[in-house]
């Protein structure tokens, strides 16, 4: 799943550590989310959206797998 987390976080001048602390996760979790190595739980996705006052769809981009 692609996301705009890093773009939004940097635009608002928030560091990874600050965001992680506010969400109750590690900085490594934020880094993994931003780099696409980890997909958030639905609860974490809601927390992130609420923190930025955005919808989940504004941050996370779901791409359906295409069947051949």
Would you say residue 49 has pLDDT above 60? Answer: yes
Is the pTM above the cut of 0.85? yes
| Domain edges within the chain | 2-55
Structure tokens at 35: 């780099």
CA separation for the pair 5, 60 (Å, rounded): 8
Non-local CB neighbours of 66 within 8 Å, separated by 6+ positions: none
Please determine, looking at this structure, whether the domain spanning 2-55 carries the CATH number 3.40.50.1980: no
pLDDT 10s digits, 4-32? 999 999 999 999 999 999 999 999 999 99
User: Is the CB of residue 27 less than 8 Å from the CB of residue 17?
Assistant: yes
């Amino acid at each position: 799943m692609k996301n705009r987390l890093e773009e939004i976080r940097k635009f608002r001048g928030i560091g990874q550590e600050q965001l992680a602390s506010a969400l109750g996760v590690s900085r490594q979790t934020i880094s993994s989310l931003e780099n696409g190595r980890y997909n958030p739980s639905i609860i974490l996705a809601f927390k992130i959206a609420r923190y930025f006052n955005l919808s989940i769809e504004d941050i996370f981009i779901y791409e359906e797998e295409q069947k051949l």
